Structures are given as C-alpha cells and as structure tokens.
Amino acid sequence: MSVTETRIVTRRLREHPDAHTLERYLATGGYEALRRALQMTPDAVRDEQVTASGLRGRGGAGFGTGQKWSFLPAGVHPRYLVVNGDEGEPCTFKDHMLIEGDPHQIVEGAAIAAYAIGAHHAFCYVRGEFALGIERLERAVAEAYDAGFLGRDVCGSGYDLEMVVHPGAGAYVAGDETGLLSSLEGGRAMPRIKPPFPAVQGLYAAPTVVNNVETVATLPHIILMGGDAYARLGVGRSTGTRIFSVSGHVRRPGNYEVELGITFRDLIEGLAGGVRDGKRMKFFIPGGASSPWLLPDHLDEPLDMDHVTQNLRTMLGSGAVMVFDEDTDPALVAWRLARFFAHESCGKCTPCREGSDWLEKVLFRIAHGRGRPEDLDLMLSFGQTIVPDLDRTPFNQTTICALGPSTMSPVVSLDRWFRDEILERCGADRRRIPVVPA
Amino acid sequence: MPYTPENRERALRIIARYPERRSALLPLLHLAQDQDGWLSPDAMAEIAELLGIEPVEVLGVASFYTMYKRDRPRRLVVSVCTNVSCLVNGAGQVHEAVAEAFAADDEILVEEVECLAACDAAPVLQVNYEFHPVAGPEAAVALVEEYRRGDRTARGVSGGRALR
Ligand SMILES: Cc1cc2nc3c(=O)[nH]c(=O)nc-3n(C[C@H](O)[C@H](O)[C@H](O)COP(=O)(O)O)c2cc1C
Ligand code: SF4
C-alpha cells in the first residue's frame, strides 16, 4: 500500500527535533504568514482566505471556521479569541504534539485569527497535565513578544495583540467551549446553555471565538498557500488535511496527517501498519470516545466528515481512531468509556449526571460476567432520557452539552454490532424486550 | 502555607495578565500547589484575598478539578492512565503494581487518571506531570523508585512550573 501522509501542519515538527525554538521557526518560514495577513484587511483574511479554504474546526464538531468568525456582531468591543488546547477526548493526542512540537505555529495562527476577528486579546487554554507543552508555549509567546510578533504594533502594522497562556487543571468538560470560558473566568468548568453562543456572549460576556489548536495551527498555511489552493486538497466539504491519532492494537500507533478523503484502511493498515501480532480487527472507534463504533466492514469508507455522519451514523469527531483486535471484549471497552463519562460529567444536567452513573454500573456488571438478560435494553431505554431518538445522527439531546449524548455511543455501538454476543453473555434469548417509550 | 515573597510577586504578575482578576484563579492554585505540594486552607485563603473573593469560592473551584490535591502535601504525584488505549496495552497491571509498591509511602500519591493524550506510547504514566511510556509493571515501579530515591528529580507537583 502506497498511501503517504500529506504533512502541512506537522511538517516542521516531523523534520526538525528543535521545531519548538524561535530560531528554527524563523528559519523555516515562520511568521511570514502573519506579515502577509497583516497586509490584508481583516475581512479579506476571513473571507478570501479562511472561508475560501473551506477549513472546518478540528475540535470535534467540524463547524466552518470562517463562518463561525462571521457570527461576531459588528462593532462590539472588546472581543476575544480563545484557543482550545484542552484535548481531553480519550485517545486524541494531536494537539498535545502540536503544542509541544511546534508552539510558534499556534502563536502565529492565533495572531492571524485574532487579527481577522478584530480581537486584541487572545488566550490559549492548555490542558493542565501538559506541563512541558505549557512551558514551551509560554516560552514561544514570550519570544514572540520580544521579536515584535505580539504586543504593541505587531510587525509595524499598527495592530496590537496581547496573548496569554492559561493552564487548565484536569476536567474533560473544560474542553466544551462554554465550560472552557467558565474555567477561564476562574470558575468551575460547567457548560452553560446556548444560545447565547460565545460569538455573541462569550468570555466576560463579550463576543468570543473559540477555536481548536489544530484549526489555528492550520491558518498560517492557508495564508501562505492561499485559501483557494487549500480548498483543492481533500474531498467534498472536507477540505485540506487532518491529523488522525491512531492507537490501540496497531503496529505503528501515532499521529498521521493525511489529506481528507483517503480511507480508514489507508490510515489504519497503510500508515499505522494494521492490527499487530497477526490478529484480526474486531472493531474500531473512528472519532474519539464520543463517536459510535465501526467494524472492519467499514474500512474502505472515506475519511469525509459529511459522509461519515450521514451514511455511517457516527462522526470523525476529534480524529482519534482506536483499533481493537479480535480478542478484545467490547463490553470492557464500553464500560471503561462509560466510567470516563461518568467521572467527567459536571453534574449540571440530571439526565447526564444520573444516566452516566447508571450506564457505568450496568456496563460494569456486563463486563464482569454478572450481566442480566434485560441489561442492554434497559440501558437503551433509560438512555432515551439523554438522547430521545437514538436512530438520529448526530444524536439529539436533553442536556446542555454534548457530553450527555456521548455517554450513549458505547451502548448504541454494543447494540448495533455486538447485540448477540452481549445477550448471550447475559444469558438472554434474542427477543427484544419492549422498551418504555421516552 | 502562604506564598513565599517571590511567589507572591509571581502571583501579582499573573493577575496582571488578565482583564479580570478572577481569571487568575487556576494559575494561582497551580502556583500554590507547586510550592507546597498541596492546597492548604491557608493558601486558598491567601488566593481569595488576592482575587477579592471568598475562600469558599476558591475551595468550590479547586474541588472541581482533579489536579488540585487538598488532603495533605505530597512530594510525588504518579498518574497512571487506564483509559482504553492504555488499558488494552496493560495499564491495569501497571496501575496495580505501582499503587501496591508505594502504598505505604505517605509522600507519594498514586492515582488512576483519564486519557493523558499520549496513546501512541501506551501504557503511559506521569510523575509530577512528566510523561513516561512504560514497558510494563516492573519498569513502572523501577521508574517511580528512581524518583523516590532522588536519582531523577521532578519539578513541582502541579504542572504549573512554567508560569512566568
Ligand atoms: C465535553 C466536550 C469536550 C470537548 N473537548 C474539546 C477539546 O478538548 N478540544 C477542542 O478543541 N474542542 C473540544 N470540544 C469542542 C468545543 O466545544 C468547540 O466546539 C471547539 O473547541 C471549537 O473549535 P473548532 O471550531 O476549531 O473545532 C469539546 C466539546 C465537548 C462537548
Ligand atoms: S451534559 Fe453532562 S457534562 Fe454537559 S453540562 Fe450537562 S451534566 Fe454537565
């Protein structure tokens, strides 16, 4: 198989072990994109470059970046840019690599984004456990100030920008944009109901854009190659490249930056070397713990965000691909993910707080040989208090943030692909037990 | 314990970076925990005073986040990931072995944590937020032992060491 990576965002850090230093960054074309962007009008950066590139957010939801920026109400100041480096979605490890490996790229990308939206204050919220990443990003910000890429009169353009690196402290739900803003304001990272969306009322109730680290790190390249040229990469409305974090039972786990549109097989077998130890694959999770699972039958499907959502009833989410071999117990994986969600639920919404705990307990007993015949249907039944219609993709929800519905992904996956196996283990016959209507 | 004069200076510098003081709360908690190995009631009271909020508000926020330790000071915090990619690569045994080996040592906290975003190196653990891929339970115990003996030094126990 001859599939190769298309390294744009990861190129510098792959080629240079010292890619995190300002010297290397400048020697490899760094901050040239910022200079060019500052010669355009902010609207031109947004419309002719970023919107034209078709770039969609790499944080999970895949929302159009230029479009999101256009929601900021005109003339309302101050306004803020917040870069989301909280990366807590299980088995996603791309932002961690970008922050440690090429921090100036994030500083430059954030400066371009801030200029385009007219913000003079930007915050990079970095997961607290990334001690080295925080240190390197802090250093990069300090160097950028000294070199005139941040602070007063950036590159002599008359544009001012302050940038602050902010450490998180261990809470997955702080990755949700409204949870993140609450955390950045010095509160518990509890999400709040939308609307108002952050674009209208975000940090300190001012208009705010929240963008993922990888999204922001892509911006300098869009400016350098041109939005139209970037849009020619990829497939359909999934333009450009994305970094996929492949882990689990594969020969070569790692981050792979590929052009969107290649297949799961190209990624998992071609790049990550396929399942190790001569075993076969049992299932894989295509887009982080929040995404419903897929089977080896789906390996020839393309990495196309819309296709995966519309036709495969799951999502590319955060780009975390977890691969499990034939000896894996799917109930054990489902239970561990349920435990994760139960632990991380912030507790604000009753269906999520209580439901995630229930799911964890029922899955625990299934995974540990004490499942009851009705257990799978029991979970599908009470799960409808969180996700009223389990057949819809993406899930609808009764909760404030998307953590609630995510708790149902492992359960729905067991039901879709391993129903017989689970029922057999729980000693049930194959009849569906009538489900109480939600 | 209160901040040392030097850390109090740093705290004031951190506060000055934000449009609103309260935003400095998480970094200030990291700074205190790095200094003392935990968040003492005194430290939280001082932070409340610096930010102009009530101590109970500081406690309410600190208790929400897993990185903040409020029971007693520790020298080493060992965080073993047991989420799925680590789990299928033997993390359960790693956690068990490390927890057992250092159970009697009051200065070492061994905790099971959620995904640490380093799954290509699974199983992984952190000692005072420094990442280590580990080959298996014995290697993990040997590694923590090196820290315990002081053959390896770790910086503060809150990952906040980088804060200017
Ligand atoms: C529970 C939860 C956790 C999330 N965690 C992250 C995260 O760690 N990083 C991230 O960029 N987005 C995360 N998101 C998505 C953010 O809310 C937001 O959509 C994203 O940061 C926007 O950036 P983008 O448009 O560039 O993708 C999370 C969402 C939810 C509901
Ligand atoms: S869905 Fe869960 S995590 Fe999200 S706000 Fe509600 S209780 Fe909190």
Distance of CA A402 to the CA centre of its chain: 12
Q: Of how many residues is chain B composed?
A: 164
CATH superfamily for A12-232 is NADH-ubiquinone oxidoreductase 51kDa subunit (3.40.50.11540)
Q: Name the B residues in 15-44 with CB < 8 Å from any A CB.
A: 17-20, 22-27, 29-30
Average pLDDT over residues B111-128: 96
The ligand 2 atom at the shortest distance from the C-alpha of residue A352 is: 2
Tokens representing A270 are 């071609």
> Which residues, judged by CB distance below 6 Å to any ligand atom, belong to the binding site of ligand 2?
A 173, 191, 345-349, 352-353, 399-401, 403-404
Instruction: Assess contact for B154 and B125: CB atoms under 8 A.
Output: no
pLDDT digits (tens, 9 = 90+) for A187-219: 999 999 999 999 999 999 999 999 999 999 999
Of B18, B25, B114, the CB nearest to A90: B114
Interchain proximity A78–B51, CB inside 8 Å:
no
Task: Please give the pLDDT value at position A237.
Answer: 97
Q: What is the token pair recorded at A309?
A: 């959502």
Q: State the Cα–Cα distance between residues B149 and A143, nearest whole angstrom.
A: 36
pLDDT surpasses 80 at A139? yes
* Helices B41-51 and B25-36, axial angle in degrees (round to 10): 150
- The whole-number average pLDDT for the span B81-106 is 97
CA–CA gap between residue A211 and residue A177 (Å, rounded): 9
Q: Two tokens at B14?
A: 């951190």
pLDDT digits (tens, 9 = 90+) for A268-301: 999 999 999 999 999 999 999 999 999 999 999 9
Alpha-carbon distance of A78 to A123, in angstroms, equals 14
Helix (H, G, I), strand (E, B) or coil at A212: strand
Q: How confident is the model at residue A438 (pLDDT cuts 50, 70, 90)?
A: very low
Interface contact B60-A188, CB threshold 8 A? yes
Q: Which CATH number fits domain A330-428: 1.20.1440.230, 1.10.10.60, 1.10.10.10, 3.30.1330.40?
A: 1.20.1440.230
Question: CB within 8 A of A30, min separation 6: which ones?
Answer: A22, A104, A105, A108, A220
- Return the percentage of chain A with pLDDT > 90, whole number: 95
Any idea what DSSP says for residue B152?
A: S
Place of tokens 């989410």: A317
**CB atoms < 10 A from the CB of A44, how many?**
14
Domain ranges of chain A: 12-232, 235-325, 330-428
Q: Give the model's pLDDT for residue B158.
A: 82
pLDDT tens-digit profile of A305-352? 999 999 999 999 999 999 999 999 999 999 999 999 999 999 999 999
- Tell me how far apart the alpha carbons of residues A269 and A283 are, in angstroms, rounded to a whole number: 13
Confidence band of A71 (pLDDT split at 50, 70, 90)? very high
Domain A235-325 has CATH 3.10.20.600: yes
> What is the pLDDT at residue B118?
96
Q: What angle do CA A405, A409, A411 make, to 5 degrees?
A: 115
* Identity of the amino acid at A278: G
Distance (Å) from the C-alpha of residue B58 to the closest C-alpha of chain A? Answer: 9
- 8 A C-beta contact, residue B80 and residue B95: yes
**Residue B9: Cβ-neighbour burial (10 angstroms; 0-12, 13-18, 19+):** exposed
